[in-house]
Amino acid sequence: MVASDFATMRDILLGDPDGPLGAVCDPTSPQEVTTAIHSILSMSPSDRAALRARCIRAAAARWNWEVQAARLTELYTALQVSEEA
């Protein structure tokens, strides 16, 4: 995955516990976008396979609707409780 170099996307892609899940770049710089894409496409087949496996693991464990929905529900519940207090 290649994403814009915004704090949240950087944390997701580069700070994942399984290791990097892709590359980030300045979305306003065609050169940076090209470099980020090239960094993925120029990986060896084994490195690309490892990246793919990391992405699949991270999607199953952390970055999916079921996990994120549970986190949002917890957050909304906590906000509701704090407003009632």
Mean pLDDT in each 10-residue stretch from start to end of the chain (85 residues)?
96 94 97 98 97 95 90 90 74
Pull the structure tokens for residue 50: 């490892």
- d(C-alpha 66, C-alpha 23), whole Å: 25
Phi-psi region of 19 (alpha: psi -120 to 50; beta: other; left: phi over 0): left
Q: Identity (one letter) of the amino acid at 69?
A: A
- d(C-alpha 58, C-alpha 81), whole Å: 31
Domain ranges of the chain: 2-60
pLDDT of residue 85: 65
Q: Identity (one letter) of the amino acid at 15?
A: G
Q: What is the pTM of this model?
A: 0.76
